[in-house]
Chains A and B, each alone.
Chain A
Amino acid sequence: MLQRERITLQLIFLQAALVVAWCFTDIETGPGAGVSTQPNGDRFKIEGRAIVPGIKTQDWVSTARVLVEGEEYVGFLRTDGSFAVNDVPSGSYVVEVVTPTYRFEPVRVDITTKGKMRARLVNYIKTSEVIRQPYPLQIRASGPHSYFMKRETWGWTDFLMNPMVMMMVLPLLIIVLLPKVVNTNDPEMRKEMEQSMNMLNPNPELPDVSELMTKLFSGSKGSSKAGSSSKGTRPAAKRR
Chain B
Amino acid sequence: MAKLILLWLKCVVLWATVEAVFEDQVGKFDWRQQYVGKVRFSHFDTHVQSSKKVLVATERNVFAALNTRTGELFWRHVDKTGSEGNIDALLQHGQDAVLVVGNGRLLRSWEINVGGLNWEVVLDSGSFQSACLVGQQDMVKHVAVLKKTAISVHYLSNGHQKWIENLPETETVDYQAVYSDGNGEVYVLGVVPHSHITIVVYSMEDGEIIKQVNMSVEAPWLSNIQASCVVVGQGMLTCVDSAGVSFYMLDLHLQLQMTQVPLQSLALEVDPGFHPVLLSHQPNLARQPLSEFFLQLGPDHYQLLQLNNGQIAAMRDFKPVTVWLLKHLLTSRAVEENLRKFNSVFQLYVQAFLKKDDSVGYRAMVQTEDHTLTFIQQPGRVMWTREEALSDVVTMEMVDLPLTGTQAELEGEFGKKADGLMSMVMKRLSSQLILLQAWIGHLWKLFYDARKPRSQVKNDVTIENLSRDEFNLQKMMVMVTASGKLFGIDSKTGGILWRHYLDNVPPNAAFKLMVQRTTAHFPHPPQCTLLIKDKDTGLATLHVFNPIFGKKSHVTPPALPQPILQSLMLPLMDQDYAKVLLLVDDQYKVSAFPSTKNVLQQLQEMAASIFFYLVDSSQGRLSGFRLRTDLSTEQIWEVIIPPEVQKIVSVKGKRPNEHVHSQGRVMGDRSVLYKYLNPNLLAVVTESTDLHQERSFIGILLIDGVTGRIIHEAVQRKARGPVHVVHSENWVVYEYWSTKSRRNEFSVIELYEGMELYNSTVFSSLDRPHAPQVLQQSYIFPSSISTMEATLTEKGITSRHLLIGLPSGGILSLPKMFLDPRRPEIVSEQSREENLIPYAPELLIRTEWFINYNQTVSRVRGIYTAPSGLESTCLVVAYGLDIYQTRVYPSKQFDVLKDDYDYMLISSVLFALFFATMISKRLAEVKLLNRAWR
Contact = CB atoms under 8 A, between A and B. Distances in A.
Interface of A: 33-36, 43, 45, 57-58, 61-63, 65, 67, 69-71, 73-74, 76-79, 83-84, 86-87, 92, 96, 98, 100-101, 103, 106, 122, 124-125, 127, 145-149, 151, 154, 236, 239-240
Interface in B774-798: 780, 782-784, 786
Interface stretch (B118-126, B476-484, B637-645): B118-126
* Residue with the highest number of chain B CB atoms closer than 10 Å, among A36, A124, A125: A124
B693 A36 contact: yes
Given A147-B21, A154-B905, A98 B809 contact: yes
B365 to A, nearest CB: 22
10 contacts: A62-B77, A69-B784, A70-B783, A76-B108, A76-B117, A84-B120, A87-B122, A147-B853, A148-B22, A148-B23
A79 B20 contact: no
A172 to B, nearest CB: 13
Interface string B70-98: 00000101111100110000000000000
Nearest to A35: B742
B784 A34 contact: no
A148 B21 contact: yes
Contacts of A84: 120
B833 interface: no
B115 interface: yes
B114 A62 contact: yes
Interface stretch (B400-408, B676-684, B816-824, B841-849): B841-849
B742 A127 contact: yes
Contact of B808 (A43, A67, A148, A154): A67
Contact of A124 (B19, B842, B848, B855): B842
A69 B784 CA distance: 7
B457 interface: no
Interface residues of B, number: 57
A103 B847 contact: yes
Interface in B836-859: 841-842, 847-848, 850, 853-856, 859
B288 interface: no
B520 interface: no
Contact of B105 (A87, A124, A154): A87
B905 A62 contact: no
Q: Would you list the 4 A-B pairs with minimal beta carbon distance, nearest first?
A: A62-B115, A70-B784, A79-B116, A147-B853
Nearest to A128: B741
Given A76-B77, A151-B22, 9 more contacts: A61-B115, A69-B784, A86-B122, A87-B122, A147-B20, A147-B854, A148-B20, A149-B22, A239-B901
Contact of A63 (B24, B75, B81, B692): B75
Contact of A76 (B24, B120, B743): B120
Contacts of B21: 147-149
B390 interface: no
Contacts of B693: 33-34, 36
Given A62-B114, A70-B784, A236-B905, A146 B848 contact: yes
A122 B808 CA distance: 17
B906 interface: yes
Contacts of B901: 239
B739 interface: yes
Contacts of B782: 106, 122, 124
A145 B81 CA distance: 27
* Residue with the highest number of chain A CB atoms closer than 10 Å, among B742, B808, B856: B742
A77 B24 contact: no
A182 B549 CA distance: 81
A62 B842 contact: no
A23 to B, nearest CB: 15
A86 B905 contact: no
Interface in B169-228: none
* Residue with the highest number of chain B CB atoms closer than 10 Å, among A67, A86, A87: A86
Contacts of B848: 146-149
B313 interface: no
A125 B854 contact: no
Given A70-B784, A101-B854, A147-B20, A79 B120 contact: no
A69 B720 CA distance: 14
Nearest to B18: A149
B80 A127 contact: no
B850 A147 contact: yes
Contact of B780 (A33, A58, A76, A125): A125
A86 B117 contact: no
B398 interface: no
A100 B809 contact: yes
Contacts of A70: 783-784, 807
Nearest to A83: B117
Contacts of B743: 124, 127
A63 B75 CA distance: 7
Nearest to A84: B120
B605 interface: no
A124 B782 CA distance: 7
A148 B900 CA distance: 15
